[in-house]
Amino acid sequence: MTDLLIKGADLIGKGRKDLLVRDGRVAEIGSITAKGAETVDADGLVLLPGLVDLHTHLREPGREDAETVHSGTRAAAKGGYTAVCAMANSHPVADTAGVVEQVAALGKAAGYADVQPIGAVSVGLEGRQLAEIGAMAQSAANVRMFSDDGHCVWDPILMRRALEYVKTFGGLIAQHAEEPRLTEGAQMNEGAVSAELGLPGWPSVAEEAIIARDVLLAEYTGARVHFCHVSTARSVDIIREAKARGANVTAEVCPHHLLLTDEAARTYDPVYKVNPPLRREADVAVLRGALAEGVIDAVATDHAPHAPQDKDCEWAAARPGMLGLETALSITVLALGGPSAVDWDVVAERTSRTPARIAGLEAHGRDPQPGTEANFTLVDPAATWTVVPADLASLSRNTPYAGMELPVTVQATFLRGRATVLNGKIAEETTE
């Protein structure tokens, strides 16, 4: 592999520097001239450690019409990601060593981003019997994070046993917090808008009740709980109090919950249907504050591609979920004050360093130092782009941002020193 020289990138906390990459690792940082190296002009670009997504639905195996590991990681690279954690709600469910190893192998073969499978907590995500957690942990996929996402681990005894189990090897449970009895038939956030539209509501307390319970279980067992897609102001209060007491909990927020509200449901366009649902303006404001402050640890996309037949239908019949990988960085920057006011150190912390730490991905989320793996992304803070669904790398089209002009473009993404994206385009196509 020839050396790579990145010229004049804006390094967080270090200013404008050149960066030499050799054999997939950072070799030198400073003012560098290197003959024979492939040179990338990074004038005016900010260098971030490669983004890490704690919550990606890659749909393979089972729904390759909506996304594959190949197409999903291609989308991830375009969004600036170097690693994604693949959710377990595939078909078959990732509840055995065989499935998680298959997903990891598909990720390696595609080569666009590292794929870390998440294992299911329960067999078939059915919430009755613990899945083969130990076998997945010991498998070649080295699973550390377990989640029934799409479903809540509702049964408190199952949650307790899962926590006690993963604690033995330093794992964690990522909880989709939704008390199912409180959300039966729910179609959108419960509030003034759902009342007006006559759609059954998903009350915020259904999320908050499970978060409160699981904070207590985390404290009782001493195990780690991560809360997926936190969407309400009161959830933030509970997490803040839990952290102040020293509970071993972390939390993520999704870009759409940082920007959109339940007012969007007035269009009856199912592209806005998502689980947990879009909430109120007041929730959006609190989530933004909590992300800036760090009470919410990370941004996670909950990238949920859906085929047209599952989305282009009436609201009640549509599947919940929206695309996220290619727009997450732009929305995060918007939510953290916009491109002129944003603190890039906070962006790096919430989109890369902290999620890498939560997932235990040691080679990711690292600011460049001599010796670290060259996993990073170059972003243009001054550029804007318009979201055109047909131009997205995802196989699906269910983005809620179609036609919107967003700040910040991803110019290049590097995985172990190899460009996956260059000049905003996939650098080298791999076959599926």
Known catalytic residues are 302
- Strand-strand pairing, 201-202 and 188-189: parallel
Q: Cβ closer to ligand NCD: 204 or 275? A: 275
Q: Cβ closer to ligand NCD: 93 or 141? A: 93
- Cα distance between the two ends of the chain: 23
Is the preceding omega at residue 92 within 30 degrees of 0, hence cis?
A: yes
89 touches ligand NCD (CB under 6 A):
yes
The contact mask relative to ligand NCD for 114-153 (x = CB under 6 A, - = no) is -----------------------------------xx---
Contact 257, 229 (CB under 8 A): yes
Contact 4, 21 (CB under 8 A): yes
Give me 53's structure tokens. Answer: 């997504």
Instruction: With contacts defined by CB under 6 A, name the span among 30-38, 255-263, 293-301, 314-322 that binds ligand NCD.
Output: 314-322
Within residues 321-340, the interface with ligand NCD by CB under 6 A covers 321
Max intra-chain CA distance, the chain: 67
Cα(18)–Cα(3) distance, rounded to whole angstroms?
Answer: 13
From the CB of 66, what's the least distance to ligand NCD, in Å? Answer: 9
Within residues 286-305, the interface with ligand NCD by CB under 6 A covers 302, 304
Q: Cβ closer to ligand NCD: 50 or 72? A: 72
> What DSSP string describes 306-328?
--HHHHSS-GGGSPP-B--TTTH
From the CB of 396, what's the least distance to ligand NCD, in Å? Answer: 10
256 touches ligand NCD (CB under 6 A):
no
Is the preceding omega at residue 203 within 30 degrees of 0, hence cis?
A: no
Contact 84, 76 (CB under 8 A): yes
Report which of 3, 4, 28, 2 is spatially closest to residue 17, judged by C-alpha positions: 28
Q: Cβ closer to ligand NCD: 22 or 319? A: 319
From the CB of 275, what's the least distance to ligand NCD, in Å? Answer: 4
Within residues 156-195, the interface with ligand NCD by CB under 6 A covers 176
Cα(307)–Cα(296) distance, rounded to whole angstroms?
Answer: 31
From the CB of 401, what's the least distance to ligand NCD, in Å? Answer: 16
Instruction: With contacts defined by CB under 6 A, name the span among 7-15, 93-101, 153-161, 315-323 that binds ligand NCD.
Output: 315-323
In the complex, the residues that contact ligand NCD under the rule CB under 6 A are: 57, 89, 149-150, 176, 274-275, 302, 304, 319-321
